[in-house]
Amino acid sequence: MTTVTATWCDRCGEPAGDGAHPACVAARELEPPRYCPACRRRMKVQILPAGWSAECVEHGRRTPSP
30-64 pLDDT, tens digit per residue, is 899 999 999 999 999 999 898 899 999 999 998 77
> What confidence category does residue 29 fall into, taking pLDDT thresholds of 50, 70 and 90?
confident
How many residues are given for the chain?
Answer: 66
Q: How many Cα atoms occupy the beta-carbon half-sphere of 13 within 13 Å?
A: 7
Would you state the pLDDT for residue 34? 94
Give pLDDT, residue 4: 55
The torsion angles phi and psi of 24, rounded to 5 degrees, stand at -70, -40
For residue 45, report the phi and psi dihedrals to the nearest 5 degrees. -115, 135
More confident residue, 15 or 65: 15
Res 5 pLDDT > 70: no
* pTM listed for this prediction: 0.79
